[in-house]
Amino acid sequence: MGPMDLLSYQQYLQQYVSQAIHNTDGSNRQISEYLSEIQIKGFLVRHRTEKERALADARKAFDEHRHWPLEIVLSHLGVKPDDQ
């Protein structure tokens, strides 16, 4: 397995967080719960390492910083709000 593709990682991180925000009430608690339910399935998954790392980092940020405002957690992750 080669080095992680940081561009793909950032795209998946953005995708998972945006998906979680759109499918919840936008609270850190619900986003965290939504992210915990996402599974990366299949034997041959393209960019598995990047997807797993992005999902793990998003879960960790929303689990550990539930008291932070959403904008701060997004900034911490380097994710842009969808309206920008």
In whole angstroms, give the CA distance from residue 70 to residue 1.
34
Q: What is the pLDDT of residue 84?
A: 45
**Residues with Cβ within 8 Å of residue 69, at least 6 apart in sequence:** none
Position 2 scores a pLDDT of 61
Give pLDDT tens digits for 2-53: 678 999 999 999 999 999 999 999 999 999 999 999 999 888 889 999 999 9
CA distance 43 to 46: 10
- Collapse the DSSP code of 45 into the 3-class scheme (helix H, G, I; strand E, B; otherwise coil) and give the result: coil
Q: What does the block give as tokens for 44?
A: 């041959």
Q: For the chain, give every domain's residue range.
A: 7-77
| Predicted confidence (pLDDT) per residue in 44-72, tens digit | 889 999 999 999 999 999 999 989 999 99
